[in-house]
């Protein structure tokens, strides 16, 4: 249950359900059929040789008279950690650089313009342990750390925007943050954005390590479109997605680390709801595999002390503003999802459905302001 | 496609997928398994004799030491119109009273405490036509109309809270509204609440008939729990659900009228996301069937003039704060969904996931206030 035996929801449906009914099942579950994107043979071969799944999909928009299509190829990467969690810190990091470098190389073969890695991708997701050593050693400067430098090289080499979520050490005040650095395809640092909402649920005791982000809802204007990064637990907060959209985001990435027993039935709902509600593309990225730690830890749920926090179920996917979505990547394997999307779709769907026009935001701003006051009285009608 | 040939997603999955895999498919798609609720034989027989589907499900909560369980039985009713749209207005209404009366009678046999009907239940969903006659004749006073009186009788007879969504005529100013009247189980009118967001999408040209509601985000304290009503298109607006929740709603009903070609892949996402994000129960109710009109109308999409707006796909369901949900009622038949829920689950899940605690609402109130000003400058980082 919620474990690693079950590889893919979509493949299971395809295996068992006859074609005519399958079409309806997929329409109801996943929306308008997402076309497969033809990927170069060299990429398919390299992914196979390097032992990761490669999927490609296409979101089209209607042709317009005054605007050319604005197509962008986005790559999502999900992966296991490479070395055990008790290997030397630098070895663990270096092994992940090698793995991610190999995967980004395939993304480049597929013409990817923007790539995003999973949350805290240079390390195991050790925050379940509540220990500080050696985990805080994985923290680095967003501006000058090895990882940012590594990603700058990738960005420049492949002419690719790189979103690199790390554990950040802000060295001036010596404070840790959960941060995504956005590297321009020129290789320069476009900026950083921090995780806005920090979980205190189950094994996700992250407020022991870092606090709520102080970078607001920044949107990064890249050569390929306006993007934002809603890190992990922020996907449970509809206001978070919304405010990135209000600042103009066309694609919102959600690099995550979450396990089957906790969140899997919510995974396909939240990012997709955000794509629909905000007329934008959203990209959910989750880790894969089970990570074991030397020190026992407890989960506050009455279970005996244990050494892992469960199975990270992968299932990374892209959701579109028209309610459609790609299948998920595997629940068990490393993977690269390449999606070509025409960003003109965001305005087209907005013009069709009008959620921003019909949103009544002035009234919500007032109501929300009132609701946060100490003397707030809820609007309750009694007999 | 999006039509009436396909009866049920859930039944199709159950028919074709072997048990072991089906369990995982259902866990990923629908969350923790929702237990079936045993319903009295007399109700099962009556539903069969009266030709509608009857389903029963149970959402349990953990036992607590200081609070007893707070179980409530909720009934959702979806139905076809009974007579053709060109039958005399009073005959159409009377036929619907008979049909709904028969269904509520079965709800009473099932011990339902709160029942909710579909949007504008006393009439065909004629707003696609943009005609005014005879449709505006279906509008009635929320306080003194025949339909409110009819529902007051039901409420008193069965000791049941009745949520009755109607086309309201506010007689003082002679203005129409899309309104839900909430009748207490005592038979008295608890109050009314109006549709906050009005669609201008496809055939849903409703702003021709009524404007955005002016009743805010009222919550009704009933004997069985605190409830709110988010009418139809308001489900696309996460802020709308959110503000009902901020006013204390434990169950939010979403009486709707929506068709397959427009919204079906979004249907299972939006109310469920709202249940998750707001730690409450949500109840989506949709019409069933295709309604034909005498006068041709167009849909603004290049198709030839036609006489129907497509298939209302039913699929009413209940979503719980823990991410689980009931199956949907049929896509093609009238139906009554009876759900027993322990409202203690809402606080338990809130204590577990902490979305309200981690919501940072003061900051959103400020950001949203800024975003609605004419001089708002989006937070965009450029190279």
Residues B252-275 pLDDT 10s? 999 999 999 899 999 999 999 999
Residue of chain A nearest B274, judged by CA positions? A238
Q: Which two tokens stand for residue B353?
A: 């996931």
Taking CB atoms and an 8 Å cutoff, what residues of chain B touch A380?
218-221, 226, 247-248
pLDDT at B4: 76
Residue A267: closest CA among A317, A217, A216, A301: A317
Q: Residue B25: in which H helix or E strand, if any?
A: helix B19-30
Give the orientation angle of helix B41-49 with respect to helix B89-109, to 10 degrees.
160
Minimal Cβ distance to B24: which of A6, A188, A216: A6
User: Confidence class of residue B2 from pLDDT cuts 50, 70 and 90?
Assistant: low
Residues A231-274 pLDDT 10s? 999 999 999 999 999 999 999 999 999 999 899 999 999 999 99
Torsion sign (Cα): A291, A294, A296, A298: negative
Which residue ranges of chain A lie beneath pLDDT 50? 1
| Residue A195 bears catalytic tag | yes
The Cα diameter of chain B in Å comes to: 70
Q: Are B78 and B145 in contact (CB under 8 A)?
A: no
Q: How far apart are CA B325 and CA B319, in angstroms?
A: 4
Q: Classify each residue of A316-338 as buried b or exposed e, where b means 16 or more C-beta atoms within 10 Å of its C-beta.
A: bbbbbbbbbbbbbbbbbbbbbbb
Residues of B with a known catalytic role: 119, 195, 232
Yes or no, beta carbons of A221 and B383 under 8 Å apart: yes
Q: Among A195, A226, A280, A291, which one carries the catalytic annotation?
A: A195
User: Confidence class of residue B54 from pLDDT cuts 50, 70 and 90?
Assistant: very high
Q: How far apart are CA A26 and CA A327, in angstroms?
A: 10
- How far is the CA of B239 from the CAs of A266, A363, B274, in angstroms? 19, 11, 9
Yes or no, beta carbons of A379 and B263 under 8 Å apart: no
ipTM exceeding cut-off 0.95 for this assembly: yes
Nearest Cα of chain A lies from the Cα of B127 at a distance, in angstroms, of: 17
For B102, phi and psi rounded to 5 degrees? -65, -35
Give CA angle at B43 (B41, B46), nearest 5°: 110
pLDDT at B100: 98
For A9, phi and psi rounded to 5 degrees? -60, -50
Long-range pairs of B32-36 with CB within 8 A, sequence gap ≥ 24:
B32/A265, B32/B322, B32/B323, B32/B324, B33/B324, B34/B58, B34/B59, B34/B320, B34/B324, B34/B325, B34/B326, B34/B327, B35/B60
CA of residue A55 relative to chain centroid, distance: 16
Residues B325-353 pLDDT 10s? 999 999 999 999 999 999 999 999 999 99
Taking CB atoms and an 8 Å cutoff, what residues of chain B touch A320?
none
Query: Which segments of chain A does DSSP mark as H helices, in order?
Result: 9-16, 19-30, 41-49, 89-109, 146-158, 238-246, 260-278, 344-353, 361-371
Q: Is the pLDDT of residue B314 over 80?
A: yes
Q: Which domains, and CATH codes, for chain A? A: 9-371 (3.60.110.10)
Minimal Cβ distance to B276: which of A16, A270, A371: A270
User: How big, in percent rounded to 5, are the helix, strand and coil portions of chain B?
Assistant: 35, 25, 40
pLDDT at B21: 94
- How far is the CA of A114 from the CAs of A154, A174, A340, A344, B282, in angstroms? 11, 31, 10, 17, 37
Half-sphere CA count of B66, side-chain side, radius 13 A: 1
Yes or no, beta carbons of B265 and A32 under 8 Å apart: yes
Q: Which of A168-172, A297-301, B68-72, B109-113 has the lowest mean pLDDT?
A: A297-301
pLDDT at A205: 86
Nearest Cα of chain A lies from the Cα of B182 at a distance, in angstroms, of: 10
Q: Kindly state the percentage of chain B with pLDDT values over 70.
A: 99
| Residue A232 bears catalytic tag | yes
pLDDT at A38: 97
Give CA angle at B80 (B74, B81), nearest 5°: 115
Q: Which residues contact B15 (CB under 8 A, 6 or more apart)?
A: none
pLDDT at B356: 97
**Secondary structure (3-state) at B134:** coil
Residue A22: closest CA among B22, B331, B262, B12: B12
Q: How far apart are CA B161 and CA B253, in angstroms?
A: 13
């Amino acid at each position: 249950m919620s474990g690693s035996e079950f590889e893919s929801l979509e493949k299971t449906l395809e295996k068992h359900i006859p074609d005519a009914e399958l079409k309806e099942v997929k329409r109801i579950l996943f929306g308008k059929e997402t076309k497969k994107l033809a990927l170069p043979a060299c990429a398919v071969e390299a992914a196979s040789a390097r032992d990761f799944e490669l999927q490609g999909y296409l979101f089209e928009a209607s042709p317009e008279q005054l605007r050319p299509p604005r197509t962008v190829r986005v790559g999502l990467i999900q992966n296991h950690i490479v070395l055990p969690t008790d290997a030397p810190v630098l070895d663990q990091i270096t092994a992940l650089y090698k793995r991610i470098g190999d995967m980004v190389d395939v993304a480049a073969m597929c013409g990817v313009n923007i790539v995003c890695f999973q949350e805290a991708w240079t390390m195991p997701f050790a925050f379940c342990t509540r220990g500080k050593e050696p985990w805080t050693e994985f923290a680095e400067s967003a501006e000058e750390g090895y990882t940012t430098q590594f990603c700058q090289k990738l960005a420049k080499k492949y002419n690719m925007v790189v979103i690199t979520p790390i554990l950040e050490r802000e060295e001036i005040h010596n404070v840790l943050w959960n941060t995504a650095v956005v590297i321009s395809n020129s290789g320069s640092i476009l900026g950083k954005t921090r995780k806005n909402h920090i979980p205190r649920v189950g094994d996700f005791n992250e407020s022991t390590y870092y606090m709520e982000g102080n970078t607001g809802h920044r949107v990064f204007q890249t050569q390929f479109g306006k993007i934002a990064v809603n890190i992990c637990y922020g996907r449970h907060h509809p206001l978070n997605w919304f405010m990135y959209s209000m600042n103009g985001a066309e694609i919102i990435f959600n690099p995550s680390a979450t396990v089957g027993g906790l969140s899997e039935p919510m995974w396909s709902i939240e990012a997709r709801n955000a794509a629909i509600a905000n007329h934008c593309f959203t990209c959910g990225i989750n880790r894969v595999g089970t990570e074991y730690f030397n020190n026992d830890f407890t989960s506050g749920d009455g279970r005996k002390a244990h050494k892992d926090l469960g199975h990270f179920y992968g299932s990374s996917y892209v959701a579109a503003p028209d309610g459609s979505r790609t299948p998920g990547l595997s629940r068990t394997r490393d993977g690269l999802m390449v999606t070509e999307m025409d960003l003109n779709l965001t305005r087209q769907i907005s013009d069709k459905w009008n959620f921003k026009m019909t949103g009544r935001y002035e009234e919500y701003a007032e109501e929300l302001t009132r609701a946060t006051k100490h003397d707030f009285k809820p609007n309750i009608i009694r007999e």
